[in-house]
Amino acid sequence: MDHEHEHKQSGDEHDHDYENHSGHHTEMARDFIRRFWVSVALSIPVIALSPMIQSFLGMEGAFAFSGDIYVSFALSSVVFFYGGWPFLSGLFKELKEKQPGMMTLIAIAITVAYIYSGLVVFVVEGQIFFWELVTLVDIMLIGHYIEMKSVMSASKSLEELAKLMPSEAHLLQEDGATKDVALDELEEGDQVLIKPGEKIPADGVVIKGKSSVNESLMTGESKPVNKGAEDDVIGGSLNGEGSLTIEINRTGKDSFLSQVIDLVKQAQDSKSRTQDLANRAAFWLTIVALSAGFITFFVWSFLTSEDFVFALERTVTVMVIACPHALGLAVPLVVAVSTNLAAQNGFLIRDRSAFEGARNLGAVIFDKTGTLTKGVFEVTDVVNYTDEYDDERLLQLAASLEQSSEHPIAQGIVEASDDLIEAEDFNSITGKGIEGTVQDLSVKVVSPGYLEEQQIDQPDDQYQELSEQGKTVVFVLIDDQLHGAIALGDTIREDSKAAIDQLHEMGLQCIILTGDNKQTAAYVAEELGLDEYFAEVLPDEKADKVKEVQQRGLKVAMTGDGVNDAPALASADVGIAIGAGSDVAVETGDIILTQSNPKDVSALIALAKATYKKMVQNLFWATGYNAIAIPLAAGVLFSYGIVLNPAVGAGLMSLSTVVVAVNARFLKLNR
């Protein structure tokens, strides 16, 4: 079985629950909006036929006709059973799980309103609550729909991991010829040819050829790694300028990529979900509503001279008013505004609970390559050992020669010079550098190993200093005389220092986590003022390092862009993926930063804090009036002739809904 098929099968196996979860949410969203439109259509005549609404509009009797109350009952029945079904079924689910929340509160309110109004139609005298019933169902349906649309679909990280593998491999035949085969035909021990620029189809060991291999997406190592005989290669990594022949030694679940898939799956499975803020508010409102309703009925039935019908009407009024319409919109509206605001600023929120949890972060762990650094080789230093050629001329000669090479280091040197000259007699010095003729000058760009081999002295102090900064140093020889050195490195992003400073001001610890060597990590950590660094960390160890920081009692955000970061992103309390990175990192992250700007991390956390604050404000406006409305509805001031009319209660509910909607629009992102 080939890698692609096996990974896809593994992906199907691992991701089956996620696909079901995603499809379930999509179908639920469609179901809510379908029920909403049907309910709205039926609600319009119910509202028009309501005596309370007609009286409020000064149009008493305008739409009245014989039997109109039965029409209202029939239409309200459809809205109650069809539109209210998600809440009625949700009631049983929440009670079964012993976690009463929003569904319980809504279900109790609409059930009490429906049953009591039905009794008024057929049995007792009193006020009907049909219009409150239908509008409550309508608003709650659209509120839940908004909420679901704001939550991103389930993770596709496993599927994205499988896409890293090529579709075919060049299988070597016994006669030396190659045959293109699908990956499912490859077996352990097969020999395959990888041409320049191609992806390596499977884990294996090099048996012939030399090349540099870009493993940055797999291991986090920013430098292309030179590969020769007996060196291991990883399936999914990118071959450089040379051809390689490898012997496959790992397939299927034993492969590096499959192990990463398993790590991502395990980390995602272990991530807990925080309870929704509105549900917690709904839980307490349910307790308040039931308690207030019971006390109201008991007091008016047994401690006063009022009749049963009056006691029942007071009780129903309390129960209906206790379920505020605005509560269904308080959080979803903020979420919708926040999600839209985030998207406008390049933040794509995939997991709302993780985003909300960002307000409580204690530490931010950054991947180095492509996150705090640019992820590409650039010339950082030109060292001149003689006065014969200036820095610009040295760089021009080296770049003119390097333009004939495909090596990433060569491309970095070429990018640094704007005035290239055609080189002649280009030749590769195996494993040591290149040579050629530029304007009749014999030019060599070589590694430190070449100088040692040729016993050419070079200033150790400067070279050592650059090497300790994690930079790659090549030397320029002109007519066999050492004239200078060029240092290249994965340069730190301009905004990285400002980002770290902003996070420190917010009281967060900043840590770097990288597969690079200790010298490089230490240099970056010192330059940026980081609190700590973890270097030479393998992919499976990255998730462990995240857990290590979590065990200190800190909520942790992980920011990264590579496949090697995927398990760590999934393990963190908040996974922040750099959108310009690999697809798998994007699909594993809870939040995606499309601009690859480290400062967006601090802006994102600030938005999370502002969003939560706005949610709390909205919940206050949505439920605060209950402190006044419920006692008045219960009749505590009845002896003074003050009883809350359901119409006044409805007006308060409408006002709170407007306040909630307006308040949500005031959410802003301060960058």
Catalytic residue numbers, as ranges: 367
Separation between Cα atoms, residue 612 and residue 478, nearest integer Å: 64
Classify residue 375 as left (phi > 0), alpha (psi -120 to 50) or beta. Answer: left
From the list 262, 161, 156, 155, the residue with the least C-alpha distance to 218 is: 161
Beta bridge partners of residue 568, listed in sequence order: none
Q: How far is CA 83 from CA 1, 49, 93, in A?
A: 49, 19, 17
Q: What is the dihedral of CA 553, 559, 565, 571, to 10 degrees?
A: 30
- Pairing mode, strands 178-182 and 509-513: unpaired
Cβ neighbour number for residue 583 with a 10 Å cutoff:
18
Q: Do 47 and 134 meet the contact criterion of CB atoms below 8 Å apart?
A: yes
The 8-class DSSP code of residue 123 comes to: T
Stated length of the chain: 671
Separation between Cα atoms, residue 491 and residue 581, nearest integer Å: 16
One-letter amino acid of 628? I
Q: Do 228 and 243 meet the contact criterion of CB atoms below 8 Å apart?
A: no
Contacts of 59 (CB under 8 A, 6+ apart): none
Q: Tokens 């070279």 — which residue? A: 463
From the list 591, 604, 571, 575, the residue with the least C-alpha distance to 670 is: 604
Q: Which two tokens stand for residue 364?
A: 């931010």
Cβ neighbour number for residue 371 with a 10 Å cutoff:
30
Separation between Cα atoms, residue 453 and residue 475, nearest integer Å: 13
Q: Do 590 and 575 meet the contact criterion of CB atoms below 8 Å apart?
A: yes
Q: Which two tokens stand for residue 547?
A: 């857990």
User: 3-state class of 131 per DSSP?
Assistant: helix
CA angle (589 as vertex; 586, 590 as ends), nearest 5 = 130
Separation between Cα atoms, residue 128 and residue 247, nearest integer Å: 80
From the list 9, 43, 62, the residue with the least C-alpha distance to 136 is: 43
Q: Which two tokens stand for residue 551?
A: 């065990």
- Pairing mode, strands 574-578 and 591-593: parallel
Separation between Cα atoms, residue 423 and residue 444, nearest integer Å: 11
Q: Torsions phi, psi of 137, nearest 5? A: -60, -45
Q: In what side-by-side order are the strands of the sheet with 203-208?
A: 178-182, 168-172, 191-194, 244-250, 203-208, 232-233
